Amino acid sequence: MSDKYDVIVIGAGPGGYVAAIKAAQLGLKTACIESWTDKEGKNRLGGTCLNVGCIPSKALLEISHKYEEASHGFADQGIIAKDVKMDIGKMMERKEGIVNQLTGGIGGLFKANGVTPIYGHGKLMANRKVEVTDKDGKTKTYEADNVIIATGSKPIQIPPAPFDGEHIVDSEGALEFTEVPKRLGVIGAGIIGLELGSVWARLGAEVTVLEAVDTFLPAIDQQVAKDALKQFQKQGLNIVLGARMTGAEVKRKLVNVTYEDAKGKQEAKFDKLIVAVGRRPYTDNLLSEDSGVQMDERGFIFVDDTCKTEAPGVWAVGDVVRGPMLAHKASEEGVMVAERIAGHKPQVNYDCIPNVVYTFPEVAWVGKTEEQLKAEGEEYNVGTFPFAANGRAMAANSATGMVKIIADAKTDRILGFHVVGPQASEIVAQGVIAMEFGSSAEDLALTCFAHPTLSESVHEAALGVAGGAIHIANRKKKK
């Protein structure tokens, strides 16, 4: 078989494997390079997302939520469950089983679509040549008409708390605890920190989350953020804002953490410390000096709106380029690039990419926040509806949070869609679809929603934009 391909994809995560499959479906001879290996040294497809990110973390979130509900939530519903226990080993087996099934499934999809997997570390050379070094150190060079870089990202390590793999860990290490830590510290109150903190708090850990900024989840709508913060605090998460970490030292199997907040210098001791302050592009040893691809000082690859780099025939998608580090964003870009290589002209709508925090309650949003619109001087109307007034949410013992819809004051076009509450990750899709089609709040208000459903809260929030909600008192609109 020739070592020349129409498309070579470097990286088999959500951006890479999707791009490879789509390219092959469009009739292009395609190969996908992946360096990931498991604990036994076996090759694994799926990248960070499937192996140590989205999928395993959601498995632990689901299992821990069921445990929490059985331990504390059943009694209110008349279900008596005594001596509920958690088998951490079994939980981890369940997580690994899901990961194995999904990563193996990608191999099956590659075979079904004619994608050639190549295992090893890929490095882009000049003129779209890719040098692959396998796990034994042997190298081989491949050529392609087009190369798609989709190498993803890795956790950021900060000087005050270097990872030791046992007591101070990154997000990957937090998925491998063999027992519930008595006291758990989390550095960073972002999506990853909140999710991992929630998992172990539900299983019995005393969790403290230290966040350097003074605002909780500053990137999201602050009405929603404040609601979410109250719920997390009720669950026992000790979230300390404005806490700048200054050091971490392991002594006698405890992590001694020092930080500064509004009250001055503080100290805390933890059995485990998770550092979740963000991720950086995984571009280590990825590009030769003459590859023609340019990066900024943080390692992000420069691309245009269609994910083209400055090097002819070279593209980059996902976490290695600008924009949010989200698996679904990477997949959308991967499909776009594959189709553009095949001669089509699709475009990713970056205004309609949803974000989700998979805690309980979940937090999800798409589009603009009130804070952004105020800063831009835009006029808008808002409709909100609490799940506390939703019959299905009450029946499910999940009546916390709200749906919030923001619409342009003149055109009524939906500008932002925000949810905190049960199944927010599913409900936000309704907002994404509406915004993708340029819907107005009135369009949703005139849509019939099944009763009783959580989605009726979307209907009521849409009605509320114009002051016409039925099942809650409407806020008086400013004249």
Spell out where 167-313 has E strands. 168-169, 183-187, 206-210, 238-240, 244-251, 254-261, 264-270, 272-275, 279-281
Query: Which residue numbers in the chain have pLDDT < 70?
Result: 1-2, 476-479
Give the domain CATH number at 18: 3.50.50.60
Is 162 part of a structural domain of the chain? no
Spatial contact of 46 and 106, defined as CB atoms under 8 Å apart:
yes
DSSP 215: S
Backbone angles phi, psi at 220, to 5 degrees: -110, 170
Please report the pLDDT score of residue 394 as a whole number: 97
pTM: 0.95
In a domain, 474, yes or no: no
CATH number of the domain at 411, please. Answer: 3.30.390.30
Residues of the domain holding 450: 354-465
Among 277, 310, 331, the domain-final residue is 277
Out of 167, 328, 451, 471, which one is annotated catalytic?
Answer: 451
Residues 249, 107, single domain; the answer is no
- Whole-angstrom distance, CA of residue 415 vs CA of residue 369: 8
Q: Are strands 264-270 and 254-261 parallel, antiparallel or unpaired?
A: antiparallel
Residue 477 lies in a domain: no
> How high is the pLDDT of residue 1?
43
Q: What sign does the dihedral 100-106-112-117 (CA atoms) show?
A: negative
Amino acid 478: pLDDT = 57
CA angle 375, 379, 383 (to 5 degrees): 105
Query: Strand locations in 98-138, DSSP E?
Result: 116-119, 121-124, 129-133
Instruction: Return the closest-CA partner of residue 351 out of 408, 410, 416.
Output: 416
Which of 256, 277, 298 is the C-terminal boundary of a domain? 277
Report the alpha-carbon distance of residue 476 to residue 460 in Å, rounded. 16
107 secondary structure, DSSP code: H
- With respect to residue 471, please indicate whether it lies within any of the assigned structural domains: no
* Number of Cα atoms under 13 Å in the Cβ half of residue 355: 20
- Taking the alpha carbons at both ends of the chain, their separation in whole angstroms is 72
**pLDDT attached to residue 34:** 98
Compute how many other C-beta atoms are within 10 angstroms of the C-beta atom of residue 381.
Answer: 20
Catalytic: 451? Answer: yes
- pLDDT tens-digit map of 65-119: 999 999 988 988 999 999 999 999 999 999 999 999 999 999 999 999 999 999 9
Domain count, the chain: 3
Could you report the per-residue pLDDT of 357-368, keeping only the tens digit for each? 999 999 999 999
64 within a domain of the structure (yes/no): yes
Domain boundary among 246, 277, 308: 277
